């Protein structure tokens, strides 16, 4: 282990953040890491437990005690090697993951005392890039086999990288103008600067991955054509069908799905378009209390909204971990306050939207009632309320992947409408699914894990499949 009694000598130190009053004035990242000395002290707190529950908490199975010990011993180059053994993109997870590993840390038995795993991870990969330790790893030889990956989110990128490094010829198809999926367009610039995504994309290019942007597979290119021309096809399109709000007034202008707003803002910040949905000077209501809703709140602050209110259907969770419901080392269902609410705005729980109203076809107010806070969310009489609303954003989660491509390919779907792909292989021979398209809306760590495991499943199938030679010819759509 690292430092004997380190967890007794050093307390947990959270990652430093820029002042909320200052950071709402720009789009730069606001979360950093402690200086090297501080990071080594945080790493020294790791006890290298006999049973490292952090491994159980991390979907990627990151070798957390190993690289904590290496950082404590100032062996940073070895630490990034250990980190990359299980994680293709630690700069994504180090910024975006909610850190279930920390919830499972043995020190978290004393709530709030977990090792700062996420911060150490981010410090390792940041230094590795700064020192030039991260380089492309192209294969020594190619197998001559071709794989199409549809979707360039973390699952698609991880799958493509694993396959390319193993010698497969991979083409990634993305309907948007750039790679990254929700990491690029859904996650705000101030949480993850897009130059970091571009940097990884260039690494994949150097490893032989080809990218076709602006190609909507299933629309611009029939799914069957990919099956004919590639040895294998991986569907990593995400779970982009949003949950709607079926109330009177939903049709009014100014009511939008959260992801439409986030995509629009991402393009506006990048200078590549956008600007059609704006919170500037408006009373903003965000319906939904998750990360997507928080990112909408953060953008609304930076646009100069007149007010921002986030409402949640469920009741307010307990402030401390409820051991009778989610005991350690499970992810605790407790009250959390997002970075965005720390910047301003208000939050209400147990709220049911009854209708929206406005004039001249544009939303001007939201009407709601308090509910019981749990299913079936019975309304509480006498709690009717109206609030001004110039922009209403629906951030109530997602229902599954879009159906067009899956239907074209003939892929069966499970009870939750995701691609039915036990072991990543779908009902169609040679077609695989990974990420949110397979498991439903989930975390970035699960996306990377799915991409890595799917790549292994694809290679196993390719090794045993019999394919016509015609499939091995190169293909370029645009």
pLDDT digits (tens, 9 = 90+) for 195-236: 999 999 999 999 999 999 999 999 999 999 999 999 999 999
> Which tens digits make up the pLDDT trace of 59-75?
999 999 999 999 999 99
What's the pLDDT at 48? 85
Record the tokens describing residue 155, joined without a space: 């699952």
Phi and psi for 213 in degrees, rounded to 5? -90, 160
Asked whether the predicted pLDDT for residue 47 surpasses 80, the reply is: yes
Mean pLDDT of the chain: 95
Buried b (16+ CB within 10 A) or exposed e, 210-238: bbbeebebbeebebeebbebbbbbbbbbb
Q: What is the DSSP letter of 273?
A: S
- Cβ neighbour number for residue 89 with a 10 Å cutoff: 25
- Sequence-separated (6 or more) residues with CB below 8 Å from residue 21: 343
Comparing 124 with 274, which gets the higher pLDDT? 124
What separation in angstroms does the CA of 462 have from each of 233, 344, 459? 11, 53, 5
Please check the confidence at residue 466 and state whether its pLDDT lies above 80: no
Q: Rounded to an integer, what distance in angstroms lies between the CA atom of residue 185 and that of residue 262?
A: 7
pLDDT one-digit tens code per residue, 336-370: 999 999 999 999 999 999 999 999 999 999 999 99
Yes or no: say if 80 and 134 are a contact pair by the CB < 8 Å rule.
Answer: yes
Q: Which of 398, 306, 389 is nearest to 351 (CA)?
A: 389
Contact 109, 56 (CB under 8 A): no
Give percent of the chain above pLDDT 70: 97
Who's near 310: CB < 8 A, 6+ residues apart?
285, 286, 288, 289, 293, 294, 297, 340, 341, 345, 346, 347, 348
Q: According to the model, what pLDDT value does residue 478 have?
A: 39
Length of the chain: 478
Tokens of 163: 């396959």
Q: What are phi and psi of 473, to 5 degrees?
A: -75, 155
Structure tokens, 188: 């705000």
- Residues facing 256 on adjacent strands: 393
| Rounded Cα distance, 119 and 49, in Å | 19
């Amino acid at each position: 282990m690292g430092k004997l009694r380190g967890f007794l000598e050093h307390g947990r130190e959270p990652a430093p953040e820029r002042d909320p009053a200052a950071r709402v004035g720009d789009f730069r990242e606001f979360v950093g890491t402690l200086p090297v000395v501080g990071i080594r002290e945080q790493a020294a707190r790791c006890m290298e437990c006999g049973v490292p529950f952090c491994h159980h908490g991390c979907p990627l199975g990151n070798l957390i005690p190993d690289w904590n010990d290496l950082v404590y011993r100032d062996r940073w180059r070895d630490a990034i090697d250990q980190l990359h053994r299980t994680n293709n993109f630690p700069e994504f997870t180090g910024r975006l993951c909610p850190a279930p590993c920390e919830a499972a840390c043995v020190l978290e038995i004393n709530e709030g005392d977990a090792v700062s795993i996420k911060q150490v991870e981010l410090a390792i990969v940041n230094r590795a890039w700064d020192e030039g330790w991260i380089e492309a790893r192209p294969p020594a030889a190619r197998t001559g086999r071709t794989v199409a990956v549809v979707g360039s989110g973390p699952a698609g990128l991880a799958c493509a990288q694993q396959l390319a490094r193993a010698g497969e010829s991979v083409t990634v198809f993305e309907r948007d103008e750039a790679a990254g999926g929700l990491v690029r367009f859904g996650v705000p610039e101030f949480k993850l600067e897009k130059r970091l995504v571009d940097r990884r994309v260039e690494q994949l290019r150097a490893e032989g991955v080809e990218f076709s942007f602006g190609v909507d597979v299933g629309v611009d290119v029939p799914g069957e054509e990919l099956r004919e021309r590639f040895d294998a096809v991986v569907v990593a399109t995400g779970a982009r069908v949003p949950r709607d709000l079926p109330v009177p007034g939903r049709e009014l202008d100014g009511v939008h799905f959260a992801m439409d707003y986030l995509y629009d803002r991402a393009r506006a910040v990048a200078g590549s378009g956008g600007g059609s949905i704006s919170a500037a000077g408006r009373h903003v209501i965000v319906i939904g209390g998750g990360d997507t809703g928080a990112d909408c709140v953060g953008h609304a602050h930076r646009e100069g909204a007149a007010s921002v209110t986030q409402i949640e259907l469920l009741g307010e969770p307990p402030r401390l971990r409820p051991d009778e419901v989610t005991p350690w080392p499970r992810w605790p269902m407790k009250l959390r306050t997002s970075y965005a609410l720390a910047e301003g705005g208000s939050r209400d729980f147990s709220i049911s939207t009854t209708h929206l109203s406005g004039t001249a076809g544009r939303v001007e107010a939201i009407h709601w009632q308090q509910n019981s806070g749990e299913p079936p969310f019975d309304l509480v009489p006498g709690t009717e309320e109206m609030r001004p609303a110039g922009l209403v954003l629906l951030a109530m989660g997602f229902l599954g992947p879009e159906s067009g491509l899956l239907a074209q390919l003939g892929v069966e779907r499970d009870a939750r409408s995701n691609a039915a792909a036990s072991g990543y292989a779908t009902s169609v021979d040679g077609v695989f699914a990974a990420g949110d398209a397979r498991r439903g809306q989930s975390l970035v760590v699960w996306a990377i894990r799915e991409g890595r495991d799917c790549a292994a499943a694809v290679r196993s199938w390719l090794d045993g499949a019999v394919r016509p030679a015609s499939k091995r010819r190169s293909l370029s759509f645009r």
